[in-house]
């Protein structure tokens, strides 16, 4: 978060509300021929244009929607294989200067217990997460003058410094306020992975209504280009998202498409991941129940599949905001990352806070299952749970990663590494039931999904892990 100078952005706003609605309305009732043409294009995995996305949004034919779901599954498996990357959200502070209508952490909310972790508390939280088996974290910071770039860098460095035997956090991603280029460089030097900023809503009028102008977040354009500045600073893995329920979901999907296209235009690479959280209840936050734009489960499934086809080489993140049964269903539509074993209270992991203490949380979670239970379900459903961080550490990021993904070559790395990090979990943390389910899926995956030299390499690395080695990767 930049604390000096003006927060001005000279780039030209690429979101044209009227133009987006024109495209949506023009394609609101596409005939089956149009839909099939777009689906055929989607199967080629070269991405979709906004007009194509609008056709899929407008499609209401149940059979063609099911066909779209099938193609979404195919695309994800072809590019990334059957792995699901796991991470934990790690909330560092709920201090905030903003007053967003939908957020439990907003400055005017008197029901929230305010807390900012010091470095000793960050260490305790990290130790608790390591005991669960986590290797990847998403550290989340409120937008406040006391939690700027240097504080973020210091807390990230503290996380990386914590070791428990052979266990350590191998990658920290960040969700924080937009910054200046200079501040992003401070954060980059701490060795972060992906920097994530949600625009929340791309619709200008709605954005202004839910984000008061006198607050930092009230500056639409500063936020819109936050990740452009991050890339300018050398952070080549960035992540976008919208909070579905603030405005019409159709518009938000289109907004994310234009966001992706503008980053590709300027930097040659779009977002590393896209998130699509829905509004959830928060303490003393009536806005959530008053929104005129709730997103049904059916529309939610549809938008996830559309995103997978529109940006085939981008990771899709599904969070614990959703109920377990719905998460299991939506996983099939192209999701590549999920959080698990999550607790979003400040200091929640080491203090053993209950799963829901709303006075300490930004919003309410719907999936409170332990990490081990989620992993067991994934394995039983045929997925390979992955804690892999190899691409970050081998420099396979930004346009390098996308280049490998576009050739469907990235799974040559992902498949062996996913199985190895899963084997680590089975050796060090898994319950007996999870270990049995996990061994079955690894064995099946090696024999059916991995071929040739990669299979031999995977078998070798798995043996090394069983013999006590850790952090073995391609």
Distance, in Å, from the CA atom of 317 to the CA atom of 239, rounded to the nearest integer, reads 10
Instruction: State whether 312 and 443 are in the same domain.
Output: no
276 neighbors 307 (Cβ within 8 angstroms):
yes
Any idea how long the chain is?
Answer: 474
The domain in which residue 222 lies consists of 77-369
Instruction: State whether 224 and 326 are in the same domain.
Output: yes
Q: What is the DSSP string of 349-408?
A: TTTT--S--GGG-SS--S----HHHHHHHHHHTT-EEE---HHHHTT--HHHHHHHHHTT
Instruction: State whether 322 and 442 are in the same domain.
Output: no
Instruction: State whether 118 and 265 are in the same domain.
Output: yes
Instruction: State whether 275 and 307 are in the same domain.
Output: yes
Q: What is the dihedral of CA 7, 199, 118, 166, to 10 degrees?
A: -130
Whether 293 maps to a domain, the answer reads yes
The burial class, CB within 10 Å (0-12 / 13-18 / 19+), for 242 is buried
Whether 20 maps to a domain, the answer reads no
Could you tell me which residues are beta bridge partners of residue 242?
A: 200
Whether 416 maps to a domain, the answer reads yes
Whether 457 maps to a domain, the answer reads yes
> Among 43, 39, 20, 18, which residue's Cα sits nearest to residue 30?
39
Total domain count, the chain: 2
Q: What is the dihedral of CA 280, 303, 383, 71, to 10 degrees?
A: 170
Spell out the per-residue pLDDT of the chain, length 474, in tens: 444 446 889 999 999 999 999 999 999 999 999 999 999 999 999 999 999 999 999 999 999 999 999 999 999 999 888 999 999 999 999 999 999 999 999 999 999 999 999 999 999 999 999 999 999 999 999 899 999 999 999 999 999 999 999 999 999 999 999 999 999 999 999 999 999 999 999 999 999 999 999 999 999 999 999 999 999 999 999 999 999 999 999 999 999 999 999 999 999 999 999 999 999 999 999 999 999 999 999 999 999 999 999 999 999 999 999 999 999 999 999 999 999 999 999 999 998 766 678 899 999 999 999 999 999 999 999 999 999 877 666 665 555 555 545 545 555 667 888 999 999 999 999 999 999 999 999 999 999 888 888 899 999 999 999 999 999 987
Q: Three-state secondary structure along 116-157? A: ECCHHHHHHHHHHHHHHCCCEEEEEECCCHHHCHHHHHHHHH
Residue 119: give its domain's CATH number: 3.20.20.70
First to last CA, the chain: 35
In this structure, the number of other CB atoms found within 10 A of the CB of residue 135 comes to 22
Show the DSSP H helices in 27-104 as ranges: 32-43, 50-58, 62-80
Whether 269 maps to a domain, the answer reads yes
- Domain boundary residue, one of 369, 401, 421: 369
pTM here is 0.94
> Among 297, 342, 311, 190, which residue's Cα sits nearest to residue 239?
311
Instruction: State whether 317 and 409 are in the same domain.
Output: no
Instruction: State whether 219 and 86 are in the same domain.
Output: yes
Instruction: State whether 321 and 401 are in the same domain.
Output: no
Unique residue bearing structure tokens 């999920």: 338
Show the DSSP H helices in 295-334 as ranges: 297-310, 324-330
Whether 210 maps to a domain, the answer reads yes
Whether 303 maps to a domain, the answer reads yes
Whether 326 maps to a domain, the answer reads yes
């Amino acid at each position: 978060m930049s604390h000096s100078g003006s927060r001005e952005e000279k780039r030209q706003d690429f979101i044209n509300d009227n133009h987006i609605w024109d495209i949506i309305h023009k394609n609101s009732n596409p005939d089956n021929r149009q839909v099939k043409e777009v689906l055929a294009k989607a199967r080629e995995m070269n991405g979709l244009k906004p007009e194509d996305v609008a056709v899929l949004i407008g499609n209401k034919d149940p059979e063609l929607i099911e066909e779209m779901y099938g193609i979404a599954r195919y695309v994800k498996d072809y590019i990334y294989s059957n792995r699901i990357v796991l991470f934990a959200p790690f909330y560092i502070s709920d201090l905030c200067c903003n007053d967003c209508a939908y957020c439990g952490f907003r400055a005017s909310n008197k029901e929230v217990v305010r807390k900012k972790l010091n470095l000793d508390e960050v260490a305790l939280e990290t130790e608790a997460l390591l005991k669960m088996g986590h290797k990847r974290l998403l550290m989340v910071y409120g937008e406040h003058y006391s939690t700027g770039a240097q504080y973020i860098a210091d807390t990230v460095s503290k996380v990386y410094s914590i070791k428990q035997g052979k266990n350590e956090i191998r990658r920290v991603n960040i969700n924080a306020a937009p910054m200046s280029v200079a501040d992003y460089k401070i954060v980059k030097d701490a060795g972060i992975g992906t920097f994530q900023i949600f625009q929340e809503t791309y619709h200008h009028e709605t954005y202004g209504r839910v984000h008061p102008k006198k607050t930092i977040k009230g500056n639409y354009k500063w936020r819109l280009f936050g990740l452009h500045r991050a890339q300018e600073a050398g952070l080549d893995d960035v992540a976008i998202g919208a909070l579905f329920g603030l405005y019409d979901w159709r518009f938000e999907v289109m907004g994310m498409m234009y966001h992706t296209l503008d980053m590709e235009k300027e930097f040659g690479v779009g977002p590393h991941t896209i998130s699509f959280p829905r509004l959830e209840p928060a303490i003393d936050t009536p806005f959530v129940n008053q929104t005129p734009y709730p997103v049904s489960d059916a529309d939610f499934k549809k938008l996830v599949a559309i995103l997978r086809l529109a940006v085939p080489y981008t990771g899709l993140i599904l969070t614990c905001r959703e109920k377990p049964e719905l998460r299991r269903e939506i996983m099939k539509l192209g999701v590549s990352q999920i959080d698990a074993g999550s607790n979003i209270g400040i200091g929640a992991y080491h203090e053993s806070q209950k799963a829901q203490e709303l006075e300490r949380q930004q919003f309410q979670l719907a999936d409170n299952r332990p990490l081990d239970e989620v992993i067991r379900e994934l394995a039983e459903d045929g997925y390979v749970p992955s804690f892999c961080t190899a691409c970050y550490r081998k420099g396979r990021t930004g346009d390098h990663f996308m280049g490998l993904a576009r050739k469907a070559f990235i799974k040559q790395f992902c498949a062996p590494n996913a199985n190895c990090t899963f084997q680590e979990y089975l050796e060090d943390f898994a319950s007996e039931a999870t270990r049995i389910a996990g061994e079955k899926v690894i064995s099946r995956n090696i024999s059916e999904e991995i071929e040739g030299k990669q299979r031999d390499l995977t078998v070798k690395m798995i043996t090394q892990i069983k013999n006590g080695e850790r952090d073995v990767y391609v």
